């Protein structure tokens, strides 16, 4: 069985890799991922993987989290998976999703763009690692 990854204050290579693999598995399940990124919450000193999809509105967050659980279950034994405690799902109208889309567009592919200490339309983004940003 796959092992849970330890999410730390610093964004590690294993966190970045586990996020990319999760997005790949969700893409294979037609999850309509429009935006996916690690976001740093400085007040808590933690990272959270944010996944935005129109299916969150259509199915509801609980059903979309089930898709994430299924994608984690499909991981191979060698792969690390991200705990649901470290994942947030949202719709595409989310403010940070919209801000990142305005600043960075990746298309359908999975990218690896670090976006740190920047302001978009007056909103400060401490740190983020973007896999996908499109709408």
Can you give the pTM of this predicted structure?
A: 0.94
Residue of 71, 120, 67 whose CA lies nearest to 97: 120
User: In the chain, how many domains are there?
Assistant: 1
| Structure token digits, residue 47 | 């990272």
Mean pLDDT for the chain? 93
| pLDDT, tens only, 14-30 | 999 999 999 999 999 99
d(CA 36, CA 34): 7
For the residues 92-118, what does the mean pLDDT come to? 93
**Residue ranges making up the domain that contains 64:** 3-133
Around Cβ 16, how many Cβ atoms within 10 Å? 15
For 109, residues 6+ apart whose C-beta sits below 8 A from its C-beta are 132
Q: Tokens 């898709």 sit at which residue?
A: 67
């Amino acid at each position: 069985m796959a092992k849970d990854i330890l999410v730390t204050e610093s964004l590690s290579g294993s966190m970045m890799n586990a996020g990319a693999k999760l997005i790949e598995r969700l893409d294979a399940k037609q999850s309509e991922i429009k935006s996916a990124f690690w976001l740093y919450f400085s007040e808590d000193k933690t990272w959270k993987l944010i996944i935005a999809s129109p299916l969150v509105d259509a199915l509801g967050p609980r059903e979309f989290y089930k898709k994430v659980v299924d994608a984690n279950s499909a991981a191979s034994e060698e792969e690390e998976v991200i705990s649901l405690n470290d994942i947030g799902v949202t719709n595409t109208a989310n403010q940070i999703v919209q801000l990142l889309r305005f600043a960075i567009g990746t298309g359908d592919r999975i990218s690896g763009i670090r976006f740190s200490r920047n302001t978009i339309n007056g909103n400060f983004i401490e740190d983020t690692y973007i896999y996908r940003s499109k709408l």
